[in-house]
């Protein structure tokens, strides 16, 4: 079994990640404290690595770090690695999602995708990356109360109908970008042992 700390002090986030893995293969726990890591990389991979390295150096134990975001084809420079900072400081998740809907008004091209890059940092010589991607489009309204972030305005292509990710909680748990990346990581480490 691979025992990893999550590059986050958030116990809730750690338990969410733990649910994505078979605990007989990969065990996830929260770090004992949150580190302030400056995410100034130009890619998801770079930011995940920055977090993983910082937590590894502090705790001297293998780390799981992630970086994820929403990419909107009609707004190529505005979200992506900047998704959590879209619209500036002081905005809530709901504010950001509503701002995105406003910026998308009148746009025919609504294609978008969520991406998650996981970095498993065992030591400075063994670093592995796993990427999950969920394709979809930006809806025309804010729908649903489950999930977080941009879920209420994102319509996944592979789900049935026009429901937002926020209205598809069970489906999301099995098919999200994080779930897909975790599945790739689990399969890799299961076959590696």
Q: Which of 67, 93, 95, 151 is catalytic?
A: 67
Helices (H) and strands (E) in the chain, counts: 5, 6
Token pair in block for residue 190: 């299961």
Residues 6+ apart with CB under 8 A from 16: none
Token pair in block for residue 189: 């480490």
d(CA 168, CA 157): 12
d(CA 173, CA 170): 5
Q: Is 151 a catalytic residue?
A: no
Write out the catalytic residue numbers.
67
């Amino acid at each position: 079994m691979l025992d990893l700390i999550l590059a986050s002090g958030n116990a809730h986030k750690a338990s969410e990640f733990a649910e994505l893995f078979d605990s007989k293969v990969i065990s996830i726990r929260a770090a004992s404290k949150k580190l302030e890591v400056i995410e100034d990389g130009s890619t998801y991979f770079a930011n995940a690595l920055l977090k993983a390295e910082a937590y590894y150096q502090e705790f001297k134990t293998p780390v799981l770090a992630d970086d994820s975001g929403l990419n909107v084809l009609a707004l190529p420079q505005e979200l992506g690695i900047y998704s959590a900072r879209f619209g500036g400081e002081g905005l809530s998740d709901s504010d950001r999602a509503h701002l995105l809907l406003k910026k998308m008004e009148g746009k025919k091209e609504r294609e978008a995708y969520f991406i998650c890059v996981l970095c498993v940092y065992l030591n400075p010589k063994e670093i592995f990356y796993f990427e999950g991607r969920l394709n979809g489009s930006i809806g025309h309204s804010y729908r649903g109360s489950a999930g977080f972030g941009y879920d209420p305005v994102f319509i996944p292509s592979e789900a049935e109908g026009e429901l937002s990710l926020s209205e598809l909680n069970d489906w999301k748990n099995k098919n999200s970008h994080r779930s897909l990346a975790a599945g790739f990581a689990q399969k890799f480490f299961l076959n590696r042992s």
